[in-house]
């Protein structure tokens, strides 16, 4: 097994793409956004390329790409399409390669008439990292998202708080959510490769991102 994670968030705009860029840089990972909406306003994959200075060869193509910046189910409707989970297959990369998969929106964003983003997470069977704000209101949003992930039987690798550090909110999320906060991304004057690597070095628990050890037979 290798360093592979699914990045979701408590809501849209929380900072999933910045977190994805940080982990791509720190883990030398591939980046994949299976469902991209709002393509007319720019691609998240290009943001990751720009922030993490990731080679284009490490960007994997979307399974679905829609122009309008709305929920995936609505973007597909407006495009005259429908999103089918069976059409979303993990791209073939080297077995030991790290991979960061970024979802669209939050845990319960609908992708069609019956299924939600959490169903895509269950299909991939990857450990999930939940991006959450550090500010007021985050406890409720984070606990609700964790509850939905728990009901779906998804493996949560941890929470990453984004914004000015708030020890009280961090402690509450860990206590009531029964989860580890494995990293924090404070406000940065400039988001660039060196800044992202510095934040990873200073504010992330590296043990949460170590490759799984393979058993060695005698």
> Among all residues, which ones are annotated catalytic?
33
Joined tokens for residue 189: 């004057």
d(CA 121, CA 107): 9
Q: Which residues contact 117 (CB under 8 A, 6 or more apart)?
A: 8, 72, 103, 104, 105, 106, 107, 108, 109, 110, 111
The secondary structure element, H or E, covering residue 182 is strand 181-185
Quote the longest CA-to-CA distance of the chain: 58
- Count Cβ atoms below 10 Å from residue 156 Cβ, excluding itself: 19
d(CA 72, CA 66): 8
Nearest one of 108, 100, 135, 75 to 22, comparing CA atoms = 100
Nearest one of 214, 149, 217, 204 to 19, comparing CA atoms = 204
Angle ∠(51,45,69) on CA atoms, nearest 5: 115
d(CA 167, CA 169): 6
């Amino acid at each position: 097994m290798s360093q592979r994670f699914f990045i979701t968030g408590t809501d849209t705009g929380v900072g999933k793409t910045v977190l994805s860029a940080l982990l791509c840089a720190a883990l030398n990972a591939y980046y994949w956004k299976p469902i991209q909406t709002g393509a007319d306003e720019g691609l998240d994959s290009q943001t990751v390329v720009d922030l993490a200075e990731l080679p284009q060869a490490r960007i994997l193509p979307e399974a679905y790409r829609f122009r309008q910046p709305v929920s995936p189910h609505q973007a597909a409707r407006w495009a005259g399409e429908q999103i089918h989970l069976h059409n979303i297959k993990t791209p073939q990369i080297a077995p030991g390669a790290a991979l960061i998969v970024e979802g669209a929106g939050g845990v319960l964003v609908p992708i069609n008439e019956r299924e939600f983003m959490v169903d895509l997470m269950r299909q991939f069977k990857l450990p999930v990292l939940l991006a959450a704000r550090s500010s007021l209101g985050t406890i409720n949003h984070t606990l609700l998202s964790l509850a939905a992930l728990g009901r779906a039987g998804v493996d949560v690798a941890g929470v990453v708080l984004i914004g000015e550090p708030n020890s009280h909110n961090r402690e509450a999320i860990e206590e009531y959510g029964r989860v580890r906060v494995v990293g924090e991304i404070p406000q940065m004057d400039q988001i660039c490769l060196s800044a992202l690597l510095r934040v990873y070095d200073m504010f992330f628990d590296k043990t949460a991102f170590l490759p799984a050890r393979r058993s060695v037979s005698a």
